[in-house]
Amino acid sequence: MKLAIVSIFAGSALSLAGCSQTDKTAAKTPAKTEATKTEAVHEHHAPHKGTLVVFGEEFAHLELVLDPVSGKLTAYALDGEADNAIRIKQAEIEIAVTPAKTEAFPVKLKAVASTLTGEAVGDSSQFEGQDDKLKGLKEFDGKILTIELKGQPFKDVGFNYPKGNEEPDGAQH
């Protein structure tokens, strides 16, 4: 009987030692600390591979796509996540473009009607304009003079092409 109790006691002690060892091993496994935890960076991806200009705190975006060969600039009005098109009432969007070491010039983007999407001038998410001064440009500073997105007016919103205006910490230029 004593042998059975000693065996049970020894088995329990070994079992506890095994658990204790497992806990020690787990303690040695690097746990996620504040230094190793990284908050997921909230990024938006331009659906047309253009440059995103953010309005408000992710209230909406305007994606700009430049064809440097033709000098055509296309703008797409997008929601706060840059996932879905949003229609706006403006017939045109004016952008002041300032290439390096030259003076600013205006570029007017006109609303594009589309039978495919049912969009019309005054109810469109796509705008286009062409200017020979845009030909060959790879980078410029810009300012969207006025735009109304989802009923909210914005004025003089600056950006850099191709960087956009959204800083990694979410701040705007």
pLDDT of residue 19: 45
What are the φ and ψ backbone dihedral angles of 4, each rounded to 5 degrees?
A: -65, -40
Query: pTM, whole model, 2 decimals?
Result: 0.73
Q: Quick one: average pLDDT of 104-113? A: 98
Residue 112 predicted with pLDDT over 70: yes
Cα distance between residue 157 and residue 56, in whole Å: 10
Q: What is the CA radius of gyration of the chain?
A: 29
pLDDT tens-digit readout, 52-68: 999 999 999 999 999 99
167 in a structural domain: no
DSSP, res 162? T
Per-residue pLDDT band at 40 (split at 50, 70, 90): low
How many domains does one find in the chain? 2
Q: Considering the chain, what percentage of its residues have pLDDT values greater than 70?
A: 71
CATH of the domain at 105: 2.60.40
pLDDT tens-digit readout, 71-82: 999 999 999 999
- Domain extent, residue 87, equals 51-161
Based on the fold, state whether residues 131 and 61 are members of the same structural domain: yes
Based on the fold, state whether residues 89 and 122 are members of the same structural domain: yes
pLDDT of residue 157: 98
pLDDT of residue 142: 98
**What is the full DSSP assignment across 56-112?**
TTTTEEEEEEEETTTTEEEEEEEETTS-SB--B--SEEEEEEE-TTS--EEEEEEE-
Based on the fold, state whether residues 57 and 141 are members of the same structural domain: yes
35 in a structural domain: no
- What would the two tokens of residue 15 be? 């079992």
